[in-house]
């Protein structure tokens, strides 16, 4: 009886409880969450939003290149700077496309990797910290857990967040794409190989004046188009990169604060003392009988 009482100490019972809990989280993460979460509607909607952003970026890139090529058909002295400005914008589209590809990769593959590898590794490190009483292992366990949760939550949350607040901005981008396409079509419709440059410029200017209310000058139209393209690119960079980045920073800070609060409260230790106390009282009563 004394041997049983000795084994049922507060320290050993607390370690067993923590280890069993970590093993439970590990099993649920690998066997259940890694299968169920990637199939959730919330994740599928995230992938659809990322695909829409990718398609919009590709369309925008094609529109600027088309407009750049069309503008190059106009008089060279003022058309070339505008055409080059539009063509140079494609480096930003490459950057945004790479960001979208990375975000989709994190959603499609990162969620599974988090549940199958990262979170179980965090649980394993936590078990080592309990067995060896090494705080360093607990610190690494928390870091791995924060990493896994960030991969699982940040991209889906940021895409849905920007979808809710970015509707008007995305409409502005779509409007800019449409203007670039229409402007290029007007030039291609009028351009003729045998026409003199002055005649062509006069015809195309008349068409733009008639086609776009308030546009009195062809140069002004394309100059304003470039400004709208710059604004649209800035909006898309914010939506595709800046917002997810700051959400990641905030999410990481929030998790660190929550884990710090949990460790400082030390609620599990209080419960464990109560359990040990009750077991000890029962053993004493049994011994007395």
Q: What is the pTM of this model?
A: 0.72
Q: What is the mean pLDDT of residues 28-36?
A: 92
d(CA 109, CA 37): 12
d(CA 190, CA 186): 6
The pLDDT confidence band at residue 112, using thresholds 50, 70 and 90, is: very high
Better pLDDT: 113 or 214:
113
- Residue 48 belongs to what domain range? 2-288
Radius of gyration over every alpha carbon of the chain, rounded to an integer in angstroms = 31
Q: In the chain, how many domains are there?
A: 1
Task: With a cut of 60, say whether residue 8 has pLDDT above it.
Answer: no
Evaluate the CA torsion angle 13, 14, 17, 18 in order and state its sign: negative
Q: Which of 6-20, 131-145, 176-190, 198-212 has the lowest average pLDDT?
A: 198-212
* pLDDT value of position 215: 44
Q: Are 95 and 57 in contact (CB under 8 A)?
A: no
* pLDDT value of position 192: 54
Task: With a cut of 50, say whether residue 30 has pLDDT above it.
Answer: yes
Q: Which pair of structure tokens corresponds to residue 243?
A: 């917002």
């Amino acid at each position: 009886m004394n041997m049983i009482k000795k084994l049922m100490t507060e320290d050993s019972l607390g370690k067993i409880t923590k280890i069993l809990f970590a093993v439970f989280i590990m099993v649920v993460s690998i066997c259940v969450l890694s299968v169920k979460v990637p199939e959730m509607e919330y994740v599928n909607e995230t992938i659809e939003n990322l695909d829409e952003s990718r398609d919009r970026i590709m369309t925008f890139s094609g529109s600027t290149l088309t407009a750049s090529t069309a503008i190059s058909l106009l008089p060279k002295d003022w058309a070339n700077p505008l055409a080059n400005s539009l063509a140079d914008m494609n480096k930003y589209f490459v950057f945004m496309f790479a960001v979208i590809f990375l975000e989709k990769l994190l959603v499609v593959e990162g969620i599974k990797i988090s549940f199958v590898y990262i979170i179980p590794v965090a649980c394993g490190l936590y078990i080592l910290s309990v067995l060896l009483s090494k705080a360093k292992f607990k610190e690494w366990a928390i870091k791995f857990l924060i990493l896994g949760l960030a991969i699982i939550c940040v991209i889906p949350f940021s895409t849905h967040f920007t979808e809710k607040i970015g509707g008007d901005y995305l409409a502005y981008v779509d409007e800019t794409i449409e203007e670039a396409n229409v402007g290029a079509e007007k030039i291609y419709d009028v351009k003729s190989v045998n026409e003199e440059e002055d005649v062509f410029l006069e015809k195309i200017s008349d068409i733009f004046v008639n086609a776009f209310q308030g546009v009195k000058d062809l140069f002004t139209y394309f100059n304003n188009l470039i400004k709208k393209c710059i604004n649209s690119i800035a909006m898309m960079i914010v939506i595709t990169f800046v917002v997810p980045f700051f959400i990641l920073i905030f999410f990481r800070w929030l998790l660190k604060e929550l884990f710090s609060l949990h460790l400082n409260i030390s609620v599990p230790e209080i419960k464990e003392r109560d359990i040990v106390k009750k077991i000890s009282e029962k053993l004493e009563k049994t011994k007395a009988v």
